[in-house]
Amino acid sequence: MTGDKRMSNKTYITDKAYKNGIGSVEWKANYINKASLKRLTEVVAEEGFGKAAETYSVSTSQIAKWLRLNGRGKFVASQPQQLEKAA
């Protein structure tokens, strides 16, 4: 999304990927920073997955993946049907 890289050690990245059922390369490729995640959740909450996908020029399934892999807060927990539908 932003091209930012997460400064972290190999164990942390491997553990995060394992917990999400993906490889570490995929987890790193889908990492977004906190500020970008906040903007993304605001767009999704206010305008929906379709508008967020249009805004970021990606599919709704990519929006869902970013939220699932990066979001661990109340927003993600409150959107299970929308996340499943978008995926």
Domain that holds residue 41: 33-87
Asked whether residue 2 is domain-assigned, the answer is no
State the pTM of this model: 0.74
CB neighbourhood size of 28 (10 A): 14
pLDDT of residue 20: 86
Asked whether residue 52 is domain-assigned, the answer is yes
pLDDT in tens, 15-59: 888 988 999 999 888 988 889 999 999 999 899 889 999 999 999
Can you give the C-alpha Rg of the chain in angstroms? 13
Asked whether residue 40 is domain-assigned, the answer is yes
68 vs 49: CA distance, rounded Å = 13
Asked whether residue 44 is domain-assigned, the answer is yes
Asked whether residue 55 is domain-assigned, the answer is yes
Asked whether residue 1 is domain-assigned, the answer is no
Per-residue pLDDT for 2 more than 60? Answer: no
pLDDT of residue 70: 86
Between the alpha carbon of residue 72 and those of residues 55, 57, 59, 69, 81, the distances in Å are 22, 23, 21, 8, 16
Count the domains in the chain.
Answer: 1
Asked whether residue 17 is domain-assigned, the answer is no
pLDDT of residue 85: 64
